[in-house]
Amino acid sequence: MFGNWMKTSILMAGIVALFGAVGAMLGGRDGMLMALVLGGAMNVWAYWFSDKMVLKMYKARQVDETSSPYLYNMVRELAQRGGLPMPKVYLIDEAQPNAFATGRNPDNAAVAATTGIVRLLSERELRGVMAHELAHVKNRDILISTISATIAGAISMLAQFGMFFGGRGDDRPNPVLQILVMILAPLAAMVIQMAISRTREFGADRGGAEISGDPEALASALAKIESYARGIPMGTAEHHPETAQMMIMNPLSGGGLRGLFSTHPATQDRIARLRAMVR
């Protein structure tokens, strides 16, 4: 637990520093001060509200044991097995099979699944997936994941609006430098997400297998999700690629972002580790 809080603190400090550096390069001293204020405010906002923003972004609808007894009761049983408070449960009307967890701590957590993944997977496989998401909750990965998704989007926005900082006199930045920062700042934010996400997925796979007691079910689910997800685009994820690292499987379509900047480890490596647990 301490390690995850330390990672969160480092992430928040790094994000504020990146905001300040981008602001200084785009708008000199005034730009740096403006960016530092914005970065601090974004960290506070992201801690309290970013989970709600992500759920709203994906048009997730909350369900209960009346509106979706199959999914809700499955999550409740797994949460009890994992010694976790009951999270809120959401469905997302998307054909692509995928799922994610969000929230700032286990007492304020939510798990979301697409209608596509509920239809595609067997009950055993879906239990493996929801156990994986609950492992993120138990490991307190969800705060790091949600904040990094929110701030990465903000950094991209800051870079895009960089020309409006301007600066004054000798403090005015070089236009060539401004253009470079506008290109490189979003990539830096993406690298932060990659560093956080890849090792975290292995941990959630192991934790999910322990909660469900069925590593093979999650391995089978991952293979099936990857096979289907590649051919079914998810519009919201394509428009907000900073949220891709929250999903159990990279939701982005084929191309540079998926290949060069994948926030997830290779699926075959994840499956191999799960099946090693079985053996």
Q: Which residue has the tokens 């697409």?
A: 114
Is 216 noted as a catalytic residue in this protein? no
Q: How far apart are CA 13 and CA 39, in angstroms?
A: 9
Give me the catalytic one of 65, 77, 94, 133.
Answer: 133
Centroid of chain to Cα 238: 14
Question: Looking at residue 87, what DSSP letter applies?
Answer: P
| CA 196/CA 183 separation, integer angstroms | 21
Q: How far apart are CA 165 and CA 105, in angstroms?
A: 36
Q: How far apart are CA 234 and CA 181, in angstroms?
A: 29
216, amino acid identity: E
Catalytic (active-site) positions: 133
